[in-house]
Amino acid sequence: MKTIQQTGASLIGILFFLIFIAFIGLLGFKLTPIYLSNYTVKSVLKSVKNDPRITKIQTKGEMQVAAKKMIIKNLQINNIYNINYNEIHTKKTLKGIEISIKYEERTRFLANIDLALTFDDSIKVDQQ
């Protein structure tokens, strides 16, 4: 006589799988807006690089100030308010300036667990 052994997932196995899927879903739900805002920051930096109002300025000091003001203005237009004027760093180079934005975003994940993401975006703007 041949015995038939049951195979398949148990109730506890299915429950752990559902908890794992919910965990991954919550993680994606919390991180997606942060990465979308970082994508917006990168696109603002690219728009400054290609803007003739910035690249045609003669002195690098004026170019730094104008670039910072334009970045803040464009970030506010795109509803990004967590980056301050002091978090935008500019440095003079031989051909123009280098702009870097270093910032950190935090979001609450579960109970007293927070997610902290740090971003460091930079771009070089050449004078014409």
The domain spans of the chain are 11-126
Q: Give me the pLDDT at residue 54, please.
A: 86
Residues in the chain: 128
Select the highest-mean-pLDDT range: 37-41, 64-68, 90-94. Answer: 37-41
* Cβ density class 43-69: b for 16+ within 10 Å, e for less: ebbeebbeeeebbebeebeebbebbbe
Give the C-alpha separation, 20 to 76, whole Å.
37
pTM of the entire predicted model: 0.81
Mean pLDDT of 20-28: 95
